[in-house]
Structure 1
Amino acid sequence: MVVGGFFTTRNRDTGDPNSVPTPTATASSSATADASASPTVNAKQFAKAEQVIDATTKDYTATFKTSKGDFEIKLYADKAPNTVNSFVFLAQKGYFDGLTFHRVVAGFVIQTGDPTGRGSGGPGYSTAEEPNEIANKRGVISMAKAGDAKEFGSQFFINLKDNPSLDYTNPGTKYYPFAEVTSGMDVVDAISKVRVSGDKPVEPVTIQSVTVTEKAK
């Protein structure tokens, strides 16, 4: 079991958009990352994700309101029901409200979901990964995880381009998608273009709210 709340999601080489976003399972990150981490207003912790979705009868979408604008995502509840359930549970609890996109690598990914803003935080529990054959294409969203771990917390990344090196076909670490951006990709691109120090935005980009909508299939 990976300890919830202790995920760091730092790339081996954050300047290389082709490198894999391999996290390490430690509570600490580099001095530079700690010094530049933006404080967040949210440190909610949970023992587990309550069951809040019905993947057999309902479809789910979510709207992100950010300091750079809004974007909408479609959740793959049928392909990754436990992952989507965790995301929806956290969103309904207001977990993501006030968090920042703590990692931005232009031409690769933007990453969020960490209450510490340093790449080392999580929700207090972990969820087992759900293998699927969805590709990490531009706009597709996958969970970040610690190295070769088979479970994850609350951090996720949005692919800024097609990233086949992260796919299920990769012989190394695989990142399984659970959602995709359906509108507002221009906002995602705007977030990816903010000025950074290393891979951390100099001017924090904040999630103001995440609203989940469900409808019958």
Structure 2
Amino acid sequence: MISINFTNLKKSLLLFAALLCLCLGAFAQSKNTYVKIETPQGWCVVKLYNQTPVHRDNFIKLVKSHYFDATTLNRILKGFVIQGGDPDSLYDKGRTLKPEMKWITPEFVAGLYHRRGVVAMGRDANKTESSYTTQFYIVDGRTWTNDELDAIEKKYNTHFTEAQRNTYRSVGGTPFLDGHYTVFGEIVKGIELIDQVTAVTVDKNGNPATPVWMKLTVLKPQEVAKTLK
């Protein structure tokens, strides 16, 4: 006759359930969220980094609430950045942000730097280098020489890894922003949008002559597979 210890069996099942939950949680966290940015000039798909969860979740919340759909890419500087999400460009000019919506704690992560095509959050000149919650930018930038990178290291008391140097020499970007603005995503498809948008006519401040409206959408898993294939 087989004897079953139900107490031990129950403990084993509970342990298995706990381990399963941990595995599923880790799997869910490892999956990235993708956002599609559409403009009159073209579109791109951005992968949001899980290493910057505060900025990621803030951005997703704004996209899902259609906040950005009423704003424009209002600052377009070829060789530097394309910036959008300024609340001043909302249709509803009387709208004001709640205090808690204005800034979020920076998330500077080694390995996430300002190469061409990354997405980062803008900010004002504050001591903590906290980010705005609504104003993001896409890096255009330019390529840099070793001498120029040496000068930036000296001026900003920073250090570029060999991987960063290789990227800035070949791909380009805005290395002087590293460690001061939070990078939270990157374009994974449609990087030609940068050239398409920076080709529009702008004034000396980078304000486009014709508003560049945008529509942002969080892609569903099946949409990601279809769009990125």
Question: Normalization by structure 2: what TM-score?
Answer: 0.62
Q: Quick one: structure 1 residues 89 and 122, their matched pair in 2 at CA, closer, same or farther if it must change by over 3 Å?
A: farther
Alignment correspondent of 2:107: 130
For 1:122-167, what per-residue CA distance to the aligned partner results, in whole angstroms no more than 9, with x for missing partners? 8531321112121100001110001133242210111102111011
Report the structure, 1 or 2, having the larger helix content: 2
Query: 2:175 is aligned with what amino acid?
Result: P
Q: Quick one: structure 1 residues 93 and 106, their matched pair in 2 at CA, closer, same or farther if it must change by over 3 Å?
A: same
> Do structure 1's residue 182 and structure 2's residue 162 form an aligned pair?
no
Q: For 1:83-162, list aligned pairs within 5 A.
A: 83-117=55-89, 123-124=97-98, 125=101, 126-133=103-110, 134-148=112-126, 149-161=129-141, 162=173
Q: Quick one: structure 1 residues 69 and 143, their matched pair in 2 at CA, closer, same or farther if it must change by over 3 Å?
A: same
Query: 1:93 is aligned with what amino acid?
Result: S
Higher alpha-carbon Rg: 2
Q: Distance in 2 between matches of 1:122 and 1:177?
A: 26
Query: 2:64 is aligned with what amino acid?
Result: Q
Query: 1:85 is aligned with what amino acid?
Result: D
Question: Normalization by structure 1: what TM-score?
Answer: 0.65
Gaps of 5+ in 2: 1-26, 142-172, 223-229
Q: CA deviation at 1:68?
A: 1.1
Gaps of 5+ in 1: 1-53, 169-173
Query: 1:211 is aligned with what amino acid?
Result: T
Aligned-residue RMSD, C-alpha: 2.2
SS of residue paired to 2:120: strand
Identity %: 30
> Do structure 1's residue 212 and structure 2's residue 218 form an aligned pair?
yes
Q: Distance in 1 between matches of 2:106 and 2:220?
A: 23
Q: CA deviation at 1:115?
A: 2.5
